[in-house]
């Protein structure tokens, strides 16, 4: 019986990143970390709602697994280049996320002066090794440039990525290593790959920059959530053509950085396997560089969501319901939080999530519902791809018992996107690690929010 419910809610499956989840005998959601376990229903009642539950052990496991897969493929193919993982900080800048990833061997990618300021803070706190390399993307404002210069002087490997001819000029006297960003003329299946965008330089523009001092990295980034495996390989093949030409002018070039975009299985449907993608990246690069007669490039990936999204869930209490007269769903369930303020991608890109109950997971009768938040905005709502969400019925709850739901895979982007429409408080954040539960952030108080608006 329990097994059927586990299957129904798509838990306990590696390919869905739900292998750490289970259901206990009382029909409650359980998180497993090795032999430790946490009861989400208890956590929600103890720490209040809404809460974000971060699982750093998931980050560590995912990065360790990815590194293993790359080493395996590199060994098997007899590939001579190295693999390095850079965590794109914009995906999740929280201390509780960045530090465990660094401990697990991640290097970093920053997009702004303020993200690089976080790096400076970590460096000053001696939280990390000077061997860490930080790639710096994004427009190089004077504040950003000053920080790049400052930190490079401190023996960190700070590698600015040149995105325009002006930046090439501004960085002319920079002593450290540098990279250049290629704007590939190729369209892939990703919401973010626009026909025309402002990132990077065309091949011609890069070649016209001539010889660049200490050029090490050719970088490109197609967009997030690339769900077609062939797109990832097609982009690599296209970029390699430029790599060969740029290397002729700059023999120091030894690394290709394929950016982010490895997809997350948000909807728990068919998706490519990481092993397959990685193997194809390595064998494609081996094949192409052998044919071009150049050394195998080092490989960098900046797969952010892929590593971070499954490491967090957001738990809401259902605080009310309303009948729907005409619709594919029967009821509105109102959450104690908001899709607009807490999970902004629901609104901005119509992100689909895997929503599951936290208690009564073994309910036989379920209801088709639409979820809605506390703001007064008609866009503050959620339904999955079938046009509704299936959840237990409120009338089946025992007297005085509340219903909680969990939205899975919320560890990428949503924290930094949080906003204050209708002055809704951001959820509290708790961290599960080594069997211990710690509160990283309390739920925002009215005073804290009021202050942001001058009250």
Ligand X SMILES: *Cc1c(COP(=O)(O)O)cnc(C)c1O
Residue 31 CA to residue 21 CA, distance in Å, equals: 5
Residue 436 vs residues 5, 36, 96, 440: alpha-carbon distances, Å: 27, 9, 14, 12
Between 40 and 188, name the residue whose CB sits nearer to ligand X. 188
Helix (H) or strand (E) holding 148: helix 142-152
Q: How far is the CB of 9 from ligand X (least distance, A)?
A: 26
Q: How far is the CB of 383 from ligand X (least distance, A)?
A: 24
359 binds ligand X (CB under 6 A): no
Helix (H) or strand (E) holding 404: strand 404-407
Q: How far is the CB of 205 from ligand X (least distance, A)?
A: 18
Between 304 and 337, name the residue whose CB sits nearer to ligand X. 304
261 binds ligand X (CB under 6 A): yes
Per-residue contact string for residues 392-421; x = within reach of ligand X by CB under 6 A: --------------------x---------
Residue 177 CA to residue 171 CA, distance in Å, equals: 10
Interacting stretch for ligand X, rule CB under 6 A, among 234-242, 266-274, 296-304, 393-401? Answer: 296-304
Among 16, 57, 303, 370, the residue binding ligand X under the rule CB under 6 A is 303
Residue ranges in 40-99 that form contacts with ligand X under rule CB under 6 A: 88, 90-91
Residue 421 CA to residue 344 CA, distance in Å, equals: 11
For the chain, the farthest-separated pair of C-alpha atoms sits apart, in whole angstroms, at: 74
Specify the pairing of strand 404-407 against strand 355-357: antiparallel
Contact 300, 48 (CB under 8 A): no
373 binds ligand X (CB under 6 A): no
Among 305, 346, 351, 426, the residue binding ligand X under the rule CB under 6 A is 305
Interacting stretch for ligand X, rule CB under 6 A, among 53-61, 63-71, 165-173, 302-310? Answer: 302-310
Residue 187 makes CB contacts below 8 A (sequence gap 6+) with 193, 195
Residue 423 CA neighbour count, 13 Å, CB half: 11
* Residues near ligand X (CB under 6 A), total: 17
Q: How far is the CB of 69 from ligand X (least distance, A)?
A: 16
Q: How far is the CB of 304 from ligand X (least distance, A)?
A: 3
Residue 197 CA to residue 188 CA, distance in Å, equals: 13
200 binds ligand X (CB under 6 A): no
Residue with smallest beta-carbon separation from ligand X = 260
Interacting stretch for ligand X, rule CB under 6 A, among 26-34, 257-265, 338-346, 425-433? Answer: 257-265
112 binds ligand X (CB under 6 A): no
Contact 257, 181 (CB under 8 A): no
260 binds ligand X (CB under 6 A): yes
Residue 351 CA to residue 382 CA, distance in Å, equals: 9
Site residues, ligand X (CB under 6 A): 88, 90-91, 109, 137, 221, 224, 259-262, 302-306, 412
């Amino acid at each position: 019986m329990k097994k059927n419910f586990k299957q129904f809610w798509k838990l306990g499956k590696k390919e869905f990143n739900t292998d750490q989840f289970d259901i206990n005998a009382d029909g409650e959601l359980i998180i497993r970390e090795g032999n430790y376990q946490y009861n989400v229903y208890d956590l929600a009642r103890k720490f209040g709602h809404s809460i974000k539950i971060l699982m750093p052990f998931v980050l560590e496991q995912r990065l360790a697994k990815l590194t293993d897969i790359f080493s395996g493929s590199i060994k098997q193919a007899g590939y001579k280049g190295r693999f390095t993982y850079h965590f794109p900080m914009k995906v999740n800048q929280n201390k509780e996320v960045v530090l465990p990833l660094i401990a697990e061997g991640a290097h970093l990618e920053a997009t702004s002066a303020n993200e690089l300021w976080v790096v400076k803070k970590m460096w000053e706190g001696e939280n990390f090794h000077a061997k860490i390399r930080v790639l710096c993307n994004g427009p190089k404002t004077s504040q950003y440039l000053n920080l790049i210069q400052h930190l490079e002087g401190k023996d960190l490997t700070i590698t600015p990525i040149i995105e325009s001819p002006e930046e090439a000029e501004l960085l002319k006297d920079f002593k450290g290593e540098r990279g250049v960003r290629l704007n590939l003329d190729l369209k892939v299946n990703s919401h973010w790959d626009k026909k025309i965008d402002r990132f990077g330089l065309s091949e011609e523009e890069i070649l016209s920059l001539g010889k660049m001092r200490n050029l090490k990295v050719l970088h490109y980034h197609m967009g997030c959530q690339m769900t077609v495996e062939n797109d990832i390989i097609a982009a690599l093949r296209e970029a390699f053509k430029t790599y060969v030409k740029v290397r002729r002018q700059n023999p120091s070039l030894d690394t290709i950085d394929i950016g982010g975009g490895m997809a997350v299985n948000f909807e728990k449907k068919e998706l490519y396997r990481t092993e397959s993608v990685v193997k194809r990246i390595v064998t494609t690069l081996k094949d192409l560089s052998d044919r071009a007669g150049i050394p195998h490039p080092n490989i960098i990936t900046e797969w952010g969501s892929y590593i971070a999204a499954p490491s967090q869930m957001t738990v809401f209490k259902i605080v009310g319901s309303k009948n729907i007269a005409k619709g594919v769903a029967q009821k509105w369930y109102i959450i104690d939080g908001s899709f607009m303020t807490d999970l902004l991608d629901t609104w901005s890109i119509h992100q689909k999530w895997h929503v599951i109950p936290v208690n009564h997971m073994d309910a036989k009768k379920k209801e088709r519902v639409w979820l809605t938040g506390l703001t007064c905005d008609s866009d503050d709502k959620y339904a999955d791809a079938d046009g509704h969400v299936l959840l237990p019925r409120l009338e089946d709850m025992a007297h005085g018992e509340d219903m909680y739901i969990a939205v899975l895979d919320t560890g990428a982007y949503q924290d930094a996107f949080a906003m204050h429409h209708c002055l809704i408080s951001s959820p509290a954040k708790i961290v599960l690690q080594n069997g211990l539960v710690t509160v990283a952030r309390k739920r925002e108080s009215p005073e804290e929010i009021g202050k942001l608006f001058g009250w």
